[in-house]
Structure 1
Amino acid sequence: MDPVRELRPKAPDSEKITINLGYVDLGHIDLMVEEGFYSNRTDFIRTAIRNQIDRHAEVVRQAVTRKSVDLGLRHFSRGDLEAVREAGQMLDIRVLGLATIAPDVTPDLARATIASLSVLGALHASAAVKSALADRIQ
């Protein structure tokens, strides 16, 4: 019997960040966790962030429309970029969420097809591609 093999590694669905909080703020969070309002510190912080996003949803929606930003996940494969190159075009990429450039995309292909790259969230690409696009990343 053949072992099960993962065909494509699953992309992480979140990005780890680090924040610094004052002791009093941290104490308030711990108190709310202790009182059962939240299951842990992370639950509190995620809830607070979601509440702020909801609070400013209209402003965010207007900015996304005004700036022509793709919302969510956007993946660029080698085939996608080769088709852009063959068409003699260049991409101006704007993503709010996660932008990924496939691992098999070469730095030369990325430079030949990506005129500008602006990501509000996270960019997953090889170090070589990020380096090749450094002057185009906003």
Structure 2
Amino acid sequence: MKDGLVRDKGGESEKITINLGYVDLGRIDVLVQEGFYSNRTDFIRTAIRNQLTAEAEAVKQSIVRHTLELGLREYSRVELESLQAAGERLHIKVVGLARIASDVTPELALATIESITVLGALQASTELKSALAERIR
């Protein structure tokens, strides 16, 4: 796991189908014909692995954001505004107490919180809980 990615175990794979334009397919065939890749599948697998390596940090951050947190977790207005500025959405998963700061507006919460799963208690204003009702599991 040198590059931080989990590699596919031999024999454990999922078949996918993709549509490519004729020009892109032709360019792949040129690379195969010139010996850069053994076949089209080799090219596509390599391209996917390269892209996953390039996006490894984003994948890692997404996994971290989706992990259960244990104990007290408070979500501040500043934190949610940072997520909003980055165009990111949050999946809150807490075992314990999740608290959304009192200065978080329903609009900010709706723009940044995709879902809330709390095994324990959620502390937030009545207005906020009402706005997020469909996202609370």
Q: Which residue of 2 aligns with 1:118?
A: 117
Equivalences, count: 72
Q: Where do 1:1-138 residues align within 5 Å?
A: 68-138=67-137
**% identical aligned pairs:** 58
Secondary structure of the structure 1 residue equivalent to 2:102: coil
- Structure 1 segments unaligned to the other structure (5+ residues): 1-66
Matched residues in 2 for 1:69 and 1:105: separation?
A: 22
- Runs of 4+ aligned structure 1 residues displaced above 3 Å come to none
Q: Which residue of 2 aligns with 1:11?
A: none
Residue 68 of structure 1 aligns with an amino acid whose one-letter code is: T
Residue 69 of structure 1 aligns with an amino acid whose one-letter code is: L
Secondary structure of the structure 2 residue equivalent to 1:105: coil
Matched residues in 2 for 1:73 and 1:85: separation?
A: 23
Shift of 1:68: 2.5
Q: Which residue of 2 aligns with 1:10?
A: none
Larger Rg: 2
Matched residues in 2 for 1:76 and 1:136: separation?
A: 16
Residue 75 of structure 1 aligns with an amino acid whose one-letter code is: E
- Structure 2 segments unaligned to the other structure (5+ residues): 1-65
CA RMSD of aligned residues (A): 1.0
Matched residues in 1 for 2:130 and 2:82: separation?
A: 22
Secondary structure of the structure 1 residue equivalent to 2:91: strand
Shift of 1:133: 0.4
